[in-house]
Structure 1
Amino acid sequence: MAGQKVRWGILATGGIAATFTADLVDLPDAEVVAVASRSQESAQAFAERFGIARAYGDWASLARDEEVDVVYVATPHTAHRVAAGLCLEAGRNVLCEKPFTLNVREAQELVALARSNGRFLMEAMWMYCNPLIRRLKALVDDGAIGEVRSVQADFGLAGPFPPSHRLRDPQLGGGALLDLGVYPVSFAQLLLGEPSDVVARAQLSQEGVDLQTGALLSFGGGALASVHCSIVGGTATSASVTGSQGRIDVPYGFFFPDRFVLHRDGRDAEEFAADPADGPRASLRHEAAEVMRALRAGETESPLVPLDGTLAVMRTLDAIRDRIGVRYPGEDAVDASSADEPVVTPA
């Protein structure tokens, strides 16, 4: 594949699919050659909007298209297991939106499929591909703030979202945790790894999804992470990493930051700014570029977004859901390491 354009297929035609496709169209080494939807009309309209040659009214046709090198799965997360699995079984490489799946069992099935078929698979955790986040991690790994003692991160939307909205629909895996909480959890685990213990509390809706959730994650060595997500209040959407010798503060939009500030004991604060070319959503381009780099290198997973890390995040999300008592229709009980009774406040 070296020296050739990487040919993309887009599976789903919603807002994130459109945003990602618009970025792909601007990349000189990417070519969007096909799109699929459950509706031929929707696929055709999307194809005409972005100048895509082939539009399919079913997912299987895209999965079987041998002129597609990699498929971007942008369905609601309740369909990720089916959509990504269909593509992997047909021999396609896959970039799958976050949260990766509804639960860790589904995630393990996709990872096993990819590894058994020798196909590339990556969660679309674009935050991990952001150059400024990578710089932050490198500073932490190099000991710039000493040993990490704590991480704080939050992501909340003001709403209000009516019960009919997808964020409150149990059939679509609604709730704050999977849509928004995946970012604070992923940020904490990028720096600290997988927690050894999880405590969580939530406010649940009448439909049984979480309106807001707070969790305390404990890690080996005594480090703690406090994460919060909400669909009933707009939060600072910021993050902070505190170490034994300093602190890093990331202001609003911590998962696509334009800057962060490094405070080191005994030194003046240092500000690290994003490249001016990296707009608020540039991480989508960085994510696509990482996928194409890996495919050209013959890699079946990205070192920036490793599958074992994705599975670890899914285990934490499952554990949090276990603590707060959120289950989705038709879902088996989530696998959790503790039988702690959830404490919840119905809305």
Structure 2
Amino acid sequence: MADTIKWGMIGAGDVTEVKSGPAFKKVPGSDLVAVMRRNEEKVKDYAKRHGIARWYTDAEALIHDEEVNAIYIATPPASHCAYCLMALRAGKAVYVEKPMTLHSVEAQELANEVRQRNGKLVVAHYRREQPYFKKIKELLQAGEIGKPRVATLQLFKQALRTQEMADPKMQWRLDETQSGGGLFHDLAPHQLDLMIHFFGTPRKSHGMATNQAKQYAADDLVSGQLLFDHGVLFNGVWAFATHEERDRCELIGSAGKLSFSFFSYEPILLERVQGQQRFAFTPLAHVQQPMIEAVVRYFQHQGENPCPIEAGVKVMHLLEDFTRK
């Protein structure tokens, strides 16, 4: 891999405008040199606004751009597997958005390809590298709550309004053929990956899912349980048609408790017999920048893979275990 990671980005949608796109040019040793979107007018505009040298309307042409040595895939999940395979077979390193694939069969196919080719692929479970969640892992490893026993998660959201349902950016998320399973598949991968990151490999997993509000075809209520190798029991509930908004996770141990949020970044609360401590963090300008820094180091052979494909496969299996798909 060359000293500078020269990125080609497939998919120039709204999610890349602030969360990820600008970070590729801000990270040392990294540059975003090409972008692809099927709509020519929109991709030309994106490239101009972000100072990107070249634009394409064909993904294969971008992948075979000789200057590009790494591919960022930011399309809906239905095309992730095909684009990843194409990039790996072209000898390019890959950074792919979550959920990694449409379903676990594709995930395993992709894992086999990475292994056979000794390729480099990172899954964009980017919260792993954010200071907020690194602090939680640090507190766990330091034994601040003793031995972890139970993890509980509640993510509640109000039902979508008519205007939100009509937004194309929402419509693909609610289409199981494009996203794999509605808002649960869009949001839960971040949370489930962090549980794996904190507690290791789940030994058992099961769940239930149903469609309560009947606003769209995908399930809007999901519950799931995990039992990890070291005995930690996880219980999660995701409800997308409730009267209130809630984003809360608690990690309860033999000597204390950690409380935090996944998406609203409320201060981390550590509660022990000795008292309470709060840990607040300044919001990041580009939420993926710490992960992109770690990915660049990995691609340059200067660090480990911050989220290997095996973790992505585990998450895909958990999504299906919880929804019985």
Structure-1-length-normalised TM-score: 0.82
Whole-angstrom CA distance in 1 between matches of 2:203 and 2:298: 31
Percent sequence identity is: 26
Residues 254-290 of structure 1: per-residue CA shift (max 9 Å, x gap): 25736312122x312122232x4xx245431101101
Report the AA paired with residue 263 of structure 1: E
1:263 paired residue number: 271
Whole-angstrom CA distance in 1 between matches of 2:153 and 2:74: 25
1:309 paired residue number: 311
Whole-angstrom CA distance in 2 between matches of 1:100 and 1:156: 24
Please state if 1:171 is matched with 2:170: no
* Residue 206 of structure 1: how far off its partner (Å): 6.8
Q: For the Cα contact (< 8 Å) 2:157–2:246, is it kept in 1? A: no
2:240 paired residue number: 231
* Residue 103 of structure 1: how far off its partner (Å): 1.5
2:227 paired residue number: 218
Question: Compared with structure 1, are the counterparts of its residues 199 and 235 closer, same or farther at alpha carbon in structure 2 (3 Å cutoff)?
Answer: farther
* Residue 52 of structure 1: how far off its partner (Å): 0.8
* Residue 128 of structure 1: how far off its partner (Å): 0.7
* Residue 113 of structure 1: how far off its partner (Å): 1.8
Question: Compared with structure 1, are the counterparts of its residues 62 and 320 closer, same or farther at alpha carbon in structure 2 (3 Å cutoff)?
Answer: same
Q: For the Cα contact (< 8 Å) 1:150–1:241, is it kept in 2? A: yes
Q: Which runs of 4+ in 1 moved over 4 A?
A: 161-164
Structure 1 residues 1-347: aligned runs within 5 Å: 4-19=3-18, 20-160=20-160, 165-173=171-179, 174-204=181-211, 205=214, 208-233=217-242, 235-251=245-261, 254-255=262-263, 257=265, 259-264=267-272, 266-274=273-281, 276=282, 279-280=283-284, 282-297=286-301, 302=305, 304-322=306-324, 326=325
Q: For the Cα contact (< 8 Å) 1:122–1:307, is it kept in 2? A: yes
Whole-angstrom CA distance in 1 between matches of 2:245 and 2:203: 27
Q: For the Cα contact (< 8 Å) 1:8–1:72, is it kept in 2? A: yes
RMSD, aligned α-carbons: 2.3
Q: For the Cα contact (< 8 Å) 2:99–2:189, is it kept in 1? A: yes
* Residue 195 of structure 1: how far off its partner (Å): 2.5
Whole-angstrom CA distance in 1 between matches of 2:239 and 2:95: 27
5+ long unaligned stretches in structure 2: none
- Does 64-73 or 168-177 show the bigger shift? 168-177
Q: For the Cα contact (< 8 Å) 1:38–1:57, is it kept in 2? A: yes
Report the AA paired with residue 116 of structure 1: Q
SS at match of 1:238: strand
Whole-angstrom CA distance in 2 between matches of 1:282 and 1:171: 29
Whole-angstrom CA distance in 2 between matches of 1:239 and 1:286: 22
SS at match of 1:133: helix
Whole-angstrom CA distance in 2 between matches of 1:15 and 1:35: 14
Structure-2-length-normalised TM-score: 0.88
SS at match of 1:102: coil
SS at match of 1:269: strand
Report the AA paired with residue 171 of structure 1: T
Q: For the Cα contact (< 8 Å) 1:181–1:228, is it kept in 2? A: no
SS at match of 1:84: helix
Residues 22-44 of structure 1: per-residue CA shift (max 9 Å, x gap): 23233343211000122333322
Question: Compared with structure 1, are the counterparts of its residues 235 and 200 closer, same or farther at alpha carbon in structure 2 (3 Å cutoff)?
Answer: farther
Report the AA paired with residue 134 of structure 1: K
5+ long unaligned stretches in structure 1: 327-347
- Count, aligned residues: 314
